Structure 1
């Protein structure tokens, strides 16, 4: 038997776990950009899709495997990159292979072009799922991406949820390669004869076109992590990824407890004064009796449920909400992201929904289980 390249074996093992539980003829889509990570994922999925559930006691069964490729149209030659990625996916046997060039929103996202591209990309993935009936979408994020995510969260002074990085699973999305290094995905492509594309925005300014925009993440990748590895020794990326796993467990528990606190505060407020149309009331006494960390987490969740964007809801906004609960001195209404507002009256904290909320001021948001990806 021919020896399997170690990187190829690691990629297949990771994908095997991600496909577990899919039934015969279920469809899984690989989100493919043409880069090393997603092409390595595509070839591993093409191999493992034929043998889901295989073991010494079972022959396993096949699932269908396809790909969805998003051409953002933001760089010269992007259509060629998408076409080349699609051709390689088809050559691997993936079917269907969808190439989509979505429309962009009329105005850039407040968090910047990276956030806007991310939102467009995930919306396109969800549309592809609705079109094809796919059960799962696999994303090619690696351990290196996770380490970069944690460092960016630290630099922002974010809380445990941001430090939790990207989850291995979120709804229909899964990330099999969070335990693999970027060098391993490049090795998979080399061993499989795949020609991967390097996004110029992943290069530092002195390595790409002079006018090329360089995202902060790319600068962390090219400058910060190498310095940390050189100073602290090897294994920094792995340690950061472990930190994400530990922080995620803690954040999931705290978010669940915060959601319960929010529900109790909302139920207790039902017997009090009725707010204005579009407002949701929370009992201040219930909130004030909770531990500060839990109360503040619940207040942030309340803001998100009222339609505030997670990336725009900062500590300053949570401080303002918390002051209504524990530092009440008759202050007037506080503005929240997206046009939402908060005020206190009659022992109740009232939140008015942002325009993105529902008519009754509540979006039905549950505890967030991921940061922005």
Structure 2
């Protein structure tokens, strides 16, 4: 099924599952409830839920829905139950509600809501044996994601937006990435499906909301129509480039490593600095990022500035002290080797 979580903020993500088993699939989705007067779903979510309910029996698969209640609005639990009823009426089964708690993290409320939402979807998918989770992201969402990545300045990968297929075992699917948001709204109107516009998605307190309602309109006014399509196209081109560079980096890593990956009791990696220095910068930085993640640095907390500091240990070595990275990982130059490992045996230089 499909739906985005209740009051998840301007970074809401619609989702649904379908699966396989004994000749028929099984699916689920995440949803957002409506308000006191119109208890519908967002247009993207409702359009995806309706499409899945229509196609599933014709494809011989079962599809269900899950509404994720983030608890960020009064009465969200009651609205979530109403969403479950709407999913059931569409023919999605099972349809259920999953309540989540939004924790306080350094990444902000949007990221915290997203993490909680995906955790709920992962749990439901595993429990129900779902083979796929369908998400209702549209081409407009992709354009917003590209602009947010551009603002972060984190390289090609941050410009590649959302993948059509992602997640462990390629669980998550985004069938609407080539469809604009207005089309999903028109689809709901044609079918007389009630939709609900989450006020959080218009709240300027959220970064994505400001991009959606302020930045994109200004760009289209200044540059003309077609900005959304161009940004979405940039995402795909950037993804193709990033995938190629990642593959190159994986091959290069095997050449520059001086330790044996997976050695028992060793939680890091050692890299030959001379060979590292000879790599193209884009490839070298990817090798360094891979090493940091292998040592235990959370990928979502590892930014360009971290990798740039580690890169200086290779390209601008002046006897610097070790560099502290997220996840209690440190990078240290030891002679002709760069050692990236978990833990801080000495006193590395912290990165703010």
Equivalent-residue separation in structure 2 for 1:247 and 1:227 (angstroms):
24
Report what 2:232 is aligned to.
Answer: 241
With over 3 angstroms needed to count, the CA separation of the structure-2 counterparts of 1:305 and 1:159, relative to structure 1, is same
Please give the secondary structure, in 2, of the residue aligned with 1:177: coil
Report what 2:131 is aligned to.
Answer: 135
Report what 1:334 is aligned to.
Answer: 323
Equivalent-residue separation in structure 1 for 2:142 and 2:20 (angstroms):
25
**Shift, 1:22, TM fit:** 9.4
Report what 1:186 is aligned to.
Answer: 185
After superposition, residues 324-363 of structure 1 pair within 5 angstroms as: 324-353=313-342
Report what 1:289 is aligned to.
Answer: 278
Q: Is 2:242 aligned against 1:251?
A: yes
After superposition, residues 82-231 of structure 1 pair within 5 angstroms as: 82-105=80-103, 108-170=104-166, 171-205=170-204, 214-231=205-222
Report what 2:71 is aligned to.
Answer: 73
Q: Is 2:316 aligned against 1:318?
A: no
**Shift, 1:104, TM fit:** 4.2
Q: How many residues in Structure 1 have an aligned counterpart in Structure 2?
A: 316
Please give the secondary structure, in 2, of the residue aligned with 1:46: helix
Whether the 8 Å CA contact 1:31–1:140 is kept in 2: the answer is no
Please give the secondary structure, in 2, of the residue aligned with 1:66: strand
Match among 35, 39, 45 for residue 42 of structure 2? 35
Whether the 8 Å CA contact 2:30–2:66 is kept in 1: the answer is yes
Q: Is 2:239 aligned against 1:232?
A: no
**Shift, 1:194, TM fit:** 2.1
Please give the secondary structure, in 1, of the residue aligned with 2:319: coil
5+ residue gaps in structure 1?
1-17, 53-61, 206-213, 356-373
Please give the secondary structure, in 2, of the residue aligned with 1:75: coil
Q: Greater shift after overlay, 165-174 or 185-194?
A: 185-194
Report what 1:368 is aligned to.
Answer: none
Match among 18, 41, 46 for residue 53 of structure 2? 46
**Shift, 1:322, TM fit:** 0.9
**Shift, 1:125, TM fit:** 0.7
Report what 1:358 is aligned to.
Answer: none
Please give the secondary structure, in 1, of the residue aligned with 2:27: strand
Question: Which deviations, in whole Å up to 9, do the C-alpha atoms of 1:314-333 show, x marking residues without a partner?
Answer: 22211221112122222111
- Tell me how large the CA RMSD over aligned residues is: 2.5
Question: Which deviations, in whole Å up to 9, do the C-alpha atoms of 1:1-45 show, x marking residues without a partner?
Answer: xxxxxxxxxxxxxxxxx9899983111223322311111100000
Please give the secondary structure, in 2, of the residue aligned with 1:350: strand
Equivalent-residue separation in structure 2 for 1:299 and 1:260 (angstroms):
13
TM-score, with normalisation over the residues of structure 2?
0.84
TM-score, with normalisation over the residues of structure 1?
0.79
**Shift, 1:77, TM fit:** 2.3
Please give the secondary structure, in 1, of the residue aligned with 2:153: coil
